[in-house]
Amino acid sequence: MTATAPTRKLVVVEGVSKHFGEGETRVDALRDVSIEIAAGEVVALLGPSGSGKTTLLNVIGCILEPSQGRVSLDGERVYDGRWLRTDLRRLRLDKIGFIFQAHNLLPFLDATENVAVVLRLAGYDDAEARRRAIELLDYLEVGHRRAAYPAKLSGGEAQRVAIARALANEPRIILADEPTAALDSKRAGIVMDLLRRIAREREAAIIAVTHDEKIFDRFDRIFLLRDGRLEVDAGRHAA
């Protein structure tokens, strides 16, 4: 019998802590957090306000520097007591896609240009950037709205365009902060099903901070943070 190849870990966080301030004003936002996310997984970070969810997401996204610990992304150790890369902007561009509750689309650009602008920043010429942008919009089944401006898009359409923008540079790691909070149940389900498809087809790891109970069944695992500590790995939830 042929052995099954191990699934590659795309996110490895080891003993990460983060505090703000010192002395009596010190706040411990993360306390010795360790977590591993594999290619193809869609996981949720849950917890009350102030529990450390967004702090952890920002550490993984190389936006916020830990106070201690180690972080590896897509097989590369990126933090070990200090950042191991000097150009964090390029690191984020190479490895990470971001999706937010507010789609943050540029109102003066149509859907295609909102995606293409990221590709131009990555070095693509105008024609290739537009071609790839249209390809991504078609992949997310919103290509028919590629000439529409954000004000003319529905909430679900705008979020799909934002997801296309997050995928523009083919990141293996996608971080989502309340990606469905502004959507109704039907559109939230559609967006999460798209994210699950992306995780499978592109072998990406997707990590979402959410309070949205209507999408809990779309996650492979759910992690609970409380007072900066990872209390629960709730195991497999999605069918």
How far apart CA 215 and CA 212 sit, in angstroms, is 6
pLDDT, position 116 = 94
Instruction: Quote the pTM value.
Output: 0.84
Confidence band, pLDDT 50/70/90 cuts, at residue 234: low
Q: Which domains does the chain have, with CATH numbers?
A: 43-64+87-236 (3.40.50.300)
Q: Could you read off the pLDDT of 129-151 as tens digits, one per residue?
A: 999 999 999 988 899 999 999 99
Is the CB of residue 220 less than 8 Å from the CB of residue 238? yes
Per DSSP, 188 falls in state H
Two tokens at 43? Answer: 């996981």
Task: Tell me which of 90-99, 134-143, 226-235 is least confident.
Answer: 226-235
Q: Say how many Å lie between the first and final Cα of the chain, rounded.
A: 27
